[in-house]
C-alpha cells in the first residue's frame, strides 16, 4: 500500500474499509501523500512564500534572480487558483 510511510495503522485500516476496491487509487490521491511528494525545491519556495506573507523582510540580495522569479511564479499560481 502506498500510504504506508505516511499513515498510521488506524488511518490505513479506515481507508481499507472506505475504499476496499480502490485502495491503490485512494493512496495515490491522498492529500498526505501529495504533501510528502512535493519536490524539495518547491517546498523551499513555499517556505519562502510563507515567510514573506508573514512579514519576514526578504532583501533583494537574499535570493538569486532565479529564486525571485520562481517565488513570483508560485505566488501567481496560488493567487490565480484562489480566484477560481
Q: What is the pTM of this model?
A: 0.57
pLDDT values of the chain reduced to their tens digit, one per residue, 84 residues: 333 456 778 887 888 888 888 877 877 777 776 666 678 898 899 999 999 999 999 999 999 999 999 999 999 988 887 876
Residues 6+ apart with CB under 8 A from 7: 15, 30, 32
Domain boundaries along the sequence of the chain: 2-36, 40-83
d(CA 74, CA 78) in angstroms, rounded, equals 6
pLDDT digits (tens, 9 = 90+) for 26-44: 777 777 766 666 788 988 9
Which pLDDT value is given to residue 1?
A: 35
Which pLDDT value is given to residue 2?
A: 38
9's grid cell: 495503522
67's grid cell: 529564486
Amino acid at each position: 500500500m502506498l500510504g504506508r510511510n505516511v499513515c498510521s495503522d488506524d488511518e490505513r485500516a479506515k481507508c481499507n474499509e472506505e475504499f476496499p476496491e480502490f485502495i491503490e487509487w485512494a493512496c495515490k490521491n491522498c492529500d498526505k501523500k501529495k504533501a510528502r511528494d512535493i519536490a524539495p525545491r518547491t517546498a523551499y519556495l513555499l517556505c519562502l512564500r510563507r515567510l514573506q506573507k508573514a512579514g519576514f523582510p526578504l532583501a533583494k540580495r537574499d535570493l538569486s534572480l532565479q529564486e525571485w522569479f520562481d517565488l513570483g511564479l508560485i505566488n501567481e499560481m496560488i493567487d490565480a487558483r484562489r480566484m477560481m
